[in-house]
Chain A
Amino acid sequence: DSGVTQTPKHLITATGQRVTLRCSPRSGDLSVYWYQQSLDQGLQFLIQYYNGEERAKGNILERFSAQQFPDLHSELNLSSLELGDSALYFCASSPGTSNTIYFGEGSWLTVV
């Protein structure tokens, strides 16, 4: 158990819909990262937050957005969903002073 909690674990939704994925980082970790991993694909970095502020952005689509709240939990919002958005979405956290990051178990999103 990495200490990073992601909900929901599984989600099935229709094209055009909007979903929110939630992440609770390890206790004390200030940095949160979001990754997308499609079937048999590598981990694609989406975005990073540190103590509530966006600090790094990867290839995140404009239909996707994220935020980190004062209690340090984070949410990834995916809108106007397309079939190609079906993937495993990982959240990871770190203290912010280390590039050792700890991943959650992921949220499986299936768009039908």
Chain B
Amino acid sequence: LAKTTQPISMDSYEGQEVNITCSHNNIATNDYITWYQQFPSQGPRFIIQGYKTKVTNEVASLFIPADRKSSTLSLPRVSLSDTAVYYCLVGDRPKAAGNKLTFGGGTRVLVKP
């Protein structure tokens, strides 16, 4: 899997938009970008996945520039319940082959009132 770099932590306030950027300079042609959210003592939860340009769902948006060497997860109008660790993963979709889906350190987002 491509190595990823994310900020260790970010603080925000309720109602603000939070943008977390992940760097993945050695992303391969077949790699997808996937973001997960983890609350304390819970398993990570899939948020969004993309390959290029922009993807949006009911939870977040994912912006991927043309060179795909970075991606930005955007959380609109965060609330206290969005306080969590956010992980960026970059890798090919496995075809029944082994896949060490390795999580990096993640970004710890703290939403303040």
Residues of A within 8 A of B (CB): 2, 4, 30-31, 33, 35, 42-43, 45, 48, 50-51, 55-58, 88, 90, 92, 94, 96-106, 108
Contact = CB atoms under 8 A, between A and B. Distances in A.
Given A42-B106, A102-B46, A106-B41, A97 B100 contact: no
B34 A100 contact: yes
B22 interface: no
Contacts of B104: 42
Contacts, number: 78
Contact of A55 (B34, B45, B93, B97): B97
Interface of B: 32, 34, 38, 41-46, 49, 87, 89, 91-106
Q: Which of B34, B97, B100: most chain A CB closer than 10 A?
A: B100
A55 B30 CA distance: 20
A30 to B, nearest CB: 7
Contact of A105 (B42, B91, B95, B97): B42
Contacts of A92: 43, 101
A43 B41 contact: no
Nearest to B95: A97
